[in-house]
């Protein structure tokens, strides 16, 4: 393969036109003349389209227009040292050093690799000084090829570097400047150099992320500031040690996307800016951060010291605790797909009847609001209801179709961050194809996540990091996780799921299903929205994906889970605001008023203030009532087509009387039990003391 840059692609001290369009057009013509592209106009059009999205001028008289183009046949780097310079949109004036990066449309690896390597070196004064000092095109070629890793550094007979040895003293000059800046610096805090931590991140995470990191680091050295940067690239990032963050006086977020794990910086004064400002104005950002460190009114990263401490704990958690956190992350991201999809399916049944499952897809394709389907005479809204119900059902069914993929994708995300999402989703989709269900999704997500995490930890050079999430991680992690699902794991898991389904279906209509209701009720009320509660809820919602009129057991399970989960907050509300106000503090009575609505909406966490203040009485009482409700719900064959909503989705619950009877029975049992426990088990805390306790716990 030819070198990316050759002497024929270099123009020294050239006047290529009055504006950047003329310069880009001239460099594109040179690429074509060198045989690297077939059409100069097409290459210019692609580079100009990229330029219009975001100007490529950078501080220091540099510009890097670039494009992927179908006109390019071989990756090329064209360089011009302009005389005079031309404005490319940089804040400090015209650019005299211009690189045009041209890559084939089907070769993103070359484009990203060259861009990342070149971008990093353009932030080094030694490199740009060498470009400006070069006397021949061959000098430029040697310097650039060394920078992008396509040539070994030239050496002199004395053993030193070649023609560009002089600028190598720049790092020592930087250190000297920083050392001198320490003495009597205006950037000192409490008699020592200011300590700043920074995060840089851009949408692609390839070039600007690392350029901003380099610029901030250099500015920190030059100004005598102890500054450490965490570049959050597209292939992941190496998190700063928590003790470094804790010791920092302030934080700089030079980002165009969300900062990952921002809770690590909780409570720190923060300066927020776009990533390009980190390249163009690093000194100003550092000065603003130092000023914020001494300003009590400065913006701070949301959260508290406890939140930052929890981030540290998360990094040292046990294996079991880590797996629990990973699974709960997947469930929490899955729930919106289930909640929205389930409610829409229930709405479809309400509008179009249960027969909507048979022809909903045909109806939405063949009909419209202006061409309503035939039939629907027995429906409330007639043919309009049939059409709208079909639309709601199909949207809901589509949303539910993402259930396993979302579960697997976000399990992988919890393990490997963004690089894990794509292979996780693919593994989840393959689990569905193999009929492995949500268990297959969990296993596929774990496999994809840990493979992706391993790949992100490989010691890849910085210029290669941009390729990891684009090609390498999705390819290898998908092959491993999805390949194992197809070749090894899919059929055994599918057999397990089939056996579990058959067992549950066999219990329907027998006393055994009541025992299932008792177990689910106990789980829902054990930790009020915690891991055990979430396991029961995830089991119920995941089953909805396979539910049908012929397989109604998942609907029974969902009904029992929802009813039991409503018991604790409703029972605490009943006990504290109606039955025994004197057994509760003033704060608890206020919480009881809110718990009525929270419980009615199936938000178990409404009972947490009560459990936090008195766990040994509230939790056992809640579990007793939850077991009663779960058992009665199963005994009354209560089915819920909706995964959430409480009394607000009664239209999706059948029979409604059975649901309400089970709910009322469990609520009364728990309320009476907690009152009895408070009255006869142990001494109740004095009201004047306990009044402030829940507030402290809640904080």
Catalytic residue set: 66, 202
Q: Cα separations (Å) of 113 from 121, 147, 206, 460? A: 13, 12, 9, 12
Whole-angstrom distance between the N-terminal and C-terminal Cα of the chain? 63
* Number of residues that this document lists for the chain: 699
Would you give the DSSP letter of residue 241?
Answer: P
Q: Quick one: which H or E segment has residue 97?
A: strand 95-104
Contacts of 622 (CB under 8 A, 6+ apart): 525, 528, 567, 568, 571, 607, 611, 670, 674
Partners of 231 in the beta sheet?
200
Residue 84 phi, psi dihedral angles, 5° rounding:
-85, 170
Give how far the C-alpha of residue 147 lies from the chain's centroid of Cα atoms, to the nearest Å: 34
Which is nearest to 570 in space by CA: 610, 597, 533, 538?
597
Q: How far apart are CA 673 and CA 621, in angstroms?
A: 5
DSSP 300: B
User: What whole-number distance in Å separates Cα of residue 641 and Cα of residue 540?
Assistant: 11
Question: How many whole angstroms separate alpha carbon 327 and alpha carbon 118?
Answer: 41
What six digits make up the tokens of 349? 């049944």
Q: Write out the two tokens for 531.
A: 């891991």
Structure tokens at 441: 């999704």
Q: How many CB atoms lie within 10 A of CB 70?
A: 14
Query: What one-character DSSP code corresponds to residue 239?
Result: P
Task: Count Cβ atoms below 10 Å from residue 186 Cβ, excluding itself.
Answer: 10
554 HSE (CA, 13 A, CB side): 21
What is the spatial distance between Cα 198 and Cα 320, in angstroms, rounded to a whole number?
Answer: 32
Question: 3-state SS of 394-429?
Answer: HHHHHHHHCHHHHHHHHHHHHHHCHHHHHHHHHHHH
Report helix, strand and coil shares of the chain as percent, to nearest 5. Answer: 65, 10, 25
């Amino acid at each position: 393969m030819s070198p990316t840059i050759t002497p024929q692609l270099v123009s020294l001290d050239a006047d290529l036109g009055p504006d950047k369009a003329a310069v880009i057009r001239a460099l594109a013509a040179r690429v074509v003349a060198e045989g690297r592209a077939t059409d100069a106009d097409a290459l210019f059009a692609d580079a100009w389209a990229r330029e219009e999205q975001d100007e490529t001028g950078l501080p220091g008289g540099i510009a890097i227009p670039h494009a992927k183009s179908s006109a390019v046949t071989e990756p090329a780097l064209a360089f011009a040292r302009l005389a005079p310079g031309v404005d490319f949109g940089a804040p400090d004036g015209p650019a005299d050093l211009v690189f045009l990066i041209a890559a084939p449309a089907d070769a993103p690896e070359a484009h990203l690799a060259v861009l990342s390597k070149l971008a990093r070196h353009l932030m080094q004064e030694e490199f740009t000084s060498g470009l400006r000092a070069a006397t021949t095109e061959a000098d430029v070629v040697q310097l650039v090829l060394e920078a992008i890793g396509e040539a070994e550094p030239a050496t002199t007979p004395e053993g030193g570097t070649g023609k560009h040895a002089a600028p190598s003293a720049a790092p020592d000059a930087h250190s000297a400047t920083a050392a001198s800046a320490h003495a009597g610096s205006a950037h000192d805090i409490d008699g020592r150099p200011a300590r700043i931590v920074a995060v840089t991140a851009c949408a692609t995470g390839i070039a600007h992320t690392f350029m901003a990191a380099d610029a901030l680091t250099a500015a920190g050295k030059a100004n005598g500031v102890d500054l450490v940067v965490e570049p959050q690239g597209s292939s992941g990032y190496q998190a700063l040690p928590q003790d470094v963050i804790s010791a920092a006086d302030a934080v700089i977020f030079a980002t165009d996307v969300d900062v990952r794990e921002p809770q690590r910086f909780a409570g720190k004064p923060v300066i927020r800016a776009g990533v390009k400002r980190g390249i163009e104005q690093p000194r100003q950002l550092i000065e603003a951060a130092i000023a914020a460190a001494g300003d009590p009114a400065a913006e701070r990263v949301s959260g508290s010291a406890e939140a930052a401490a929890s981030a540290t704990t998360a990094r040292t958690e046990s294996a079991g605790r880590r797996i629990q956190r990973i699974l709960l992350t997947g469930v929490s991201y899955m729930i919106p797909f289930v909640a929205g999809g389930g409610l829409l399916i229930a709405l479809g049944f309400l509008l179009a009847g249960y027969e909507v499952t048979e022809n909903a897809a045909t109806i939405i394709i063949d009909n419209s609001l202006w061409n309503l389907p035939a039939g629907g005479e027995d429906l409330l809204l007639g043919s309009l209801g049939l059409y709208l119900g079909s639309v709601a059902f199909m949207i809901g069914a589509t949303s539910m179709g993402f259930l396993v993929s979302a579960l697997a994708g976000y399990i992988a995300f919890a393990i490997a961050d963004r690089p894990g999402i794509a292979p996780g989703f693919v593994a989840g989709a393959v689990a569905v194809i193999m009929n492995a269900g949500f268990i297959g999704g969990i296993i596929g997500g774990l496999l994809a996540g840990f493979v992706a995490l391993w790949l992100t930890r490989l010691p890849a050079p910085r210029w290669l990091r941009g390729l990891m999430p684009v090609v390498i991680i999705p390819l290898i992690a998908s092959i491993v996780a999805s390949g194992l699902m197809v070749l090894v794991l899919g059929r055994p898991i599918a057999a397990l799921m089939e056996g579990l389904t058959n067992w549950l279906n066999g219990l329907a209509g027998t006393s055994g299903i009541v025992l299932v209701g008792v177990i689910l009720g106990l789980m829902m009320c054990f930790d009020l929205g915690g891991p055990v509660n979430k396991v029961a809820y995830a089991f119920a919602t995941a089953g909805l994906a396979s539910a049908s009129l012929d397989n109604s057991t998942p609907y029974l399970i969902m009904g029992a889970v929802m009813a039991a989960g409503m018991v604790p907050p409703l029972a605490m509300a009943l006990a504290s605001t109606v039955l025994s106000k004197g057994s509760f503090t003033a704060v608890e009575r206020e919480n009881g008023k809110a718990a009525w609505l929270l419980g009615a909406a199936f938000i178990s966490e409404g009972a947490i203030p009560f459990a936090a203040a008195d766990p040994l009485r509230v939790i056992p009482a809640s579990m007793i009532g939850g077991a009663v409700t779960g058992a009665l719900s199963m005994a009354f064959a209560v089915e819920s087509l909706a995964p959430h909503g409480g009394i607000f989705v009664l239209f999706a619950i059948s029979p409604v009387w059975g649901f309400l009877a089970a709910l009322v029975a469990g609520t009364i049992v728990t309320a009476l039990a907690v009152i009895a426990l408070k009255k006869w088990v142990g001494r109740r805390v004095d009201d004047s003391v306990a009044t402030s306790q829940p507030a402290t716990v809640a904080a």
